[in-house]
Structures are given as structure tokens and as C-alpha cells.
Amino acid sequence: MAQPDLGEIDVSTVLQALADPVRLRIVRLLDQVEESTCTALDLPVKVSTVSHHVHVLRHSGIVSTRLDGTARPSRLRKDDLERRFPGLLASILAASPPRRPED
């Protein structure tokens, strides 16, 4: 699946993607597990909405997604983000309290 290489990840795109509460919640959930599919994420929105948000996160370089039969598990690109922007993801996750995204 198309996702930016490490050198193509832009800090403004990452910050813009993380400004959305649903996407931030997805990142928080993925931070707790190795990988997950859209249907397995516990969010109060439709799976199609989660899929859209994962798409935005993938294209911003925050998550990677792989094909596994008909499933598309995603994982947080922690190591890549740490290499590109040291401390950024950890700071954002530590500074922002968990919020429940609205429907």
C-alpha cells in the first residue's frame, strides 16, 4: 500500500493529521498494540470513517498498512517517526489527554 518513505514525511502533514481527535485516538490505540485492523479498533464511529482516518494517517506517514488476505492491518511507524522527528510522537501522546471522539 502506498505510504511515504521516511524522507518524504513532512512535520506539518503529521501535525495536521494528528489534530483530528479521531485520528489521534487511532494513534493512541495503535500505540498500545503491535497492529490492528479498522474493524478491531474500538471507536464510536463507522468502520468506513475509521478507514478514511487510517488512510489519512498512512498518507501522512504516521502508520503503515499491509495487505493480509482481505485484511489490512495497520501499525504505528514509531521508529520511523522517531528517526525523522525525535521525540515528536512521544511528546504529542504524553501531552494530549485521551479524549473520546464524537460520532
Q: What gap in Å lies between CA 52 and CA 60, rounded to an integer? A: 13
Q: pTM above 0.75?
A: yes
Q: What gap in Å lies between CA 65 and CA 58, rounded to an integer? A: 7
Q: What gap in Å lies between CA 35 and CA 32, rounded to an integer? A: 9
pLDDT in tens, 46-76: 999 999 999 999 999 999 999 999 999 999 9
pLDDT of 96 reads 62
Q: pLDDT band at 95, cuts 50/70/90? A: confident
Q: What are the CB-based long-range contacts (under 8 Å, 24+) for 85-89?
A: 85/9, 85/11, 85/14, 88/11, 88/14, 89/27, 89/62
Q: What gap in Å lies between CA 62 and CA 85, rounded to an integer? A: 11
Q: pLDDT band at 103, cuts 50/70/90? A: very low
Q: Which three cell numbers stand for residue 79?
A: 521508529
In the CATH hierarchy, which fold is given to the domain comprising 11-94? Arc Repressor Mutant, subunit A (1.10.10)
Count Cα neighbours of 29 within 13 Å in the Cβ-side half-sphere: 22
Q: How far is CA 80 from the centre of its chain?
A: 13
